[in-house]
Amino acid sequence: METRRLVLTLTGILMAVIVVIGGLGVILLASGGGDGDDGPSDGDGLGERVEGELRLFGPDPITLDPACASDAGSAQYIVEIFSGLVSFDRDLKVIPDIAADWEVSDDGMVYTFNLRSNVLFHDNSRPVTANDFKYSLERALNPATQSTVGEIYLDDLVGAAEFRAGDADEVSGIRVIDPQTLELTITEPSAVFIEKLTYPTAYVVDEREVGDATCFEANWTLTPNGTGPFKMEEWSLGRKIVLTANPRFHLEPAPSLERVTYILSGGSSFVMYENDEIDITGIGENNIERVRDPNGDLNADLYESPSLSVFYIGFNAREAPFDDANLRNALSLAIDRELLAGEILLDLVVPAKGILPPGMDGYNDSLPEIPFDPDTARDLLEEAGGPDVLDGATILTSGQGATPSIILQAVVAMWEQELGVTVTIEQEDFGLFLLDLDKGRFEMFSLGWIADYPDPQNFLDIKLHSESANNEAGYSNPAVDALLDQANRETDEAARLELYQQAEELIVDDMPWAPLYHGKASYLVKPYVEGFVVPPFVIPNLRYVTINR
């Protein structure tokens, strides 16, 4: 869930822990400052455990406002505190959530949702109504809210464009039929509209609490009045987040855990796991061989699973010199993906040959691998103007430390060795990094994308259609747009996936991104934690978990 621009950078933890959502549920099994063997736990003084408590290491969220979240680190909390009309189950099927059921018109454009009558906000003050959803959806779309994601996930609604432009006071495609009935009308049939409604921009929030708050007015999120399986008990900034079970949650199974404590500070999460301070941790390259040893003391705790994600280097295709596909392909062909995935990341990831990850519907197994071909790379670089066109080039990344990720350093070293070019890595605070991406203030950037929902549209259309607000690279190819538009309208599933594969082939030829690898989740779980899995993207997950000491 960018992300769910569910957003992940290559800096940080070397994808040891795949996450995560933004993607982004997939819990961000972060390794703190790294999961190295020599970093002690800092000791957080959180006190004795309570019965039925799950302890995790987590990031300090950028936001807990569902209308505003674009990163998986924030989304992992939001999906537990809030809820919407529909959600995903663990089989990644869309299921009723606050909506008891829904009907779709024969033309595929009108969705009528019948709300459950027993869904209360966490303060138990009143039930959720269709008017609450109308307020929440329009708030996410309202330019005054300053959401960067509302338009992306709710633009199918009739009247959304007019509302955002200020030409209408409400979204005409959102109709309250009665307190328990909501009607949503979209501009054309869509195979993924119902899946888009699982994204937090469609979650319900309490108007009495939120009012006119923008994405930059977040005081209300310290004590949010949600409807999800867990309630906010405490958010101590930079220290911990404590969630407690919602005893009136409307879906089965209801939460078994009494509370979930996220430790937001500390040293190595791996050391914290060994010290029994947390119950689950991701595993990085420093410890993966030890953990994979069948005779090792932690091998029985090891779980590995796929993640619907891609990590890549993006190019600013709007401006020279990166508007030249020859240059972009030259840089891509000078990257040894097998070396990155195998020798540096110790097979914690899978080398990428395209945009769509393995396991995704529409994944093209016959797509040729992107070779490591320095000779062709040098020829293409000469066609693009030679090494001098990259004089002073920079690659933007997000990072909190002084040292960029080893992956990014390795890529830059490959470019210098194979192409004779020097590229400087520039690190920024995550918030500024996202802002610079939105404003196009970069030459190259490193980023990751984790599925918001398991459909090629979520990767290809949202990230690479020329009219998408989330197309940071500024990539534009009319032939690709036409294929994506046709795929979005196609109702035959096989034909739709074929169109996405055709679009992906053109995209890979143009190389607006240099895809590096697809993630896998490698993590440790204490034996007394039952029912925990890492889904391939961020979904509500913790209500299935029990503690059995």
**412 and 505 co-located in one domain:** yes
Residue 125 lies in a domain: yes
| Structural contact between residues 54 and 508, judged by C-beta atoms closer than 8 angstroms | no
Residue 349 lies in a domain: yes
pLDDT of the residue at 37? 39
- Who's near 209: CB < 8 A, 6+ residues apart? 220, 224, 225
Show which of 163, 188, 210 is a domain's final residue. Answer: 210
CA end-to-end span of the chain? 32
Per the listing, tokens 């549209």 go with 457
Tell me how crowded residue 255 is: count the other CB atoms within 10 A of its CB.
Answer: 25
| Structural contact between residues 245 and 177, judged by C-beta atoms closer than 8 angstroms | no
SS3 185: strand
Residue 140 lies in a domain: yes
- The burial of 33, by beta-carbon neighbours within 10 Å (0-12 exposed, 13-18 middle, 19 or more buried), is given as middle
Instruction: Please write down the HEC assignment for all residues of 237-251.
Output: CCCEEEEEECCCCCC
Interatomic CA distance for residues 292 and 120, integer angstroms:
45
Please state the separation of Cα 313 from the chain's center in Å. Answer: 16
Residue 392 lies in a domain: yes
**28 and 173 co-located in one domain:** no
Got the DSSP string for 63-125?
---TTT--SHHHHHHHHHH--BSEEE-TTS-EEESSEEEEEE-TTS-EEEEEE-SS-B-TT-S
CA angle (454, 122, 87) in 5-degree steps: 15
CA angle (370, 284, 428) in 5-degree steps: 75
pLDDT of the residue at 27? 35
Phi, psi (degrees; rounded to nearest 5) at 193:
-60, -45
Q: How many domains does the chain have?
A: 3
**468 and 406 co-located in one domain:** yes
pLDDT of the residue at 267? 79
Residue 126 lies in a domain: yes
Of 11, 10, 32, 30, residue with least CA distance to 20: 30
pLDDT of the residue at 46? 65
**245 and 195 co-located in one domain:** no
- The CATH number that applies at residue 328 is 3.10.105.10
pLDDT of the residue at 405? 86
**313 and 382 co-located in one domain:** yes
Interatomic CA distance for residues 236 and 75, integer angstroms:
18
Residue 505 has which token pair? 């082939």
Residue 1 lies in a domain: no
Show which of 210, 239, 259 is a domain's final residue. Answer: 210
Got the DSSP string for 443-501?
SEEEEEEE-SSSSTHHHHHHHHSTT-TT-TT----HHHHHHHHHHHH--SHHHHHHHHH
| Residues 474-486 as b or e (16 or more Cβ within 10 Å = b) | bbbbeebbebbbe
**410 and 264 co-located in one domain:** no
Interatomic CA distance for residues 122 and 534, integer angstroms:
26
Contacts 24+ apart (CB under 8 A), 482-489: 484/457, 484/460, 487/456, 487/457, 487/461, 488/190, 488/191, 488/192, 488/457, 488/461, 489/188, 489/189, 489/190
- Who's near 365: CB < 8 A, 6+ residues apart? none
- The CATH number that applies at residue 128 is 3.90.76.10
Interatomic CA distance for residues 523 and 394, integer angstroms:
34
Please state the separation of Cα 516 from the chain's center in Å. Answer: 17
Of 355, 357, 352, 354, residue with least CA distance to 454: 357
Show which of 184, 210, 236 is a domain's final residue. Answer: 210
**41 and 30 co-located in one domain:** yes
Interatomic CA distance for residues 151 and 149, integer angstroms:
6
Residue 381 lies in a domain: yes
**369 and 477 co-located in one domain:** yes
**329 and 430 co-located in one domain:** yes
pLDDT of the residue at 401? 55
Of 294, 265, 260, 296, residue with least CA distance to 280: 260
**377 and 504 co-located in one domain:** yes
**373 and 469 co-located in one domain:** yes
Which uninterrupted H or E stretch holds 140?
helix 130-141
pLDDT of the residue at 290? 95
User: Kind of pairing, strands 394-398 and 86-88?
Assistant: unpaired
CA angle (77, 83, 86) in 5-degree steps: 130
**343 and 485 co-located in one domain:** yes
| Structural contact between residues 134 and 174, judged by C-beta atoms closer than 8 angstroms | yes
pLDDT tens-digit profile, the chain (549 residues): 343 332 333 223 333 333 323 222 233 343 333 443 334 444 444 667 888 999 999 988 999 999 999 989 999 999 999 999 999 999 999 999 999 999 999 999 999 999 999 999 999 999 999 999 999 999 999 999 999 999 999 999 999 999 999 999 999 999 999 999 999 999 999 999 999 999 999 999 999 999 999 999 999 999 999 999 999 999 999 999 999 999 999 999 999 999 999 999 877 999 999 999 999 999 988 899 999 999 999 999 999 998 999 999 999 999 999 999 999 999 999 999 999 999 999 999 999 999 999 999 999 999 999 999 999 999 999 999 999 999 999 999 997 655 678 999 999 999 999 999 999 999 999 889 989 999 999 999 999 999 999 999 999 999 999 999 999 999 999 999 999 999 999 989 999 999 999 999 999 999 999 999 999 989 999 999 999 998 999 999 999 999 998
Range of the domain at 246: 7-83+219-307+522-547
Please state the separation of Cα 101 from the chain's center in Å. Answer: 27
Per the listing, tokens 């329009």 go with 138
- The burial of 392, by beta-carbon neighbours within 10 Å (0-12 exposed, 13-18 middle, 19 or more buried), is given as exposed
- The CATH number that applies at residue 63 is 3.40.190.10
pLDDT of the residue at 269? 94
Residue 2 lies in a domain: no
Please state the separation of Cα 161 from the chain's center in Å. Answer: 25
Tell me how crowded residue 375 is: count the other CB atoms within 10 A of its CB.
Answer: 9
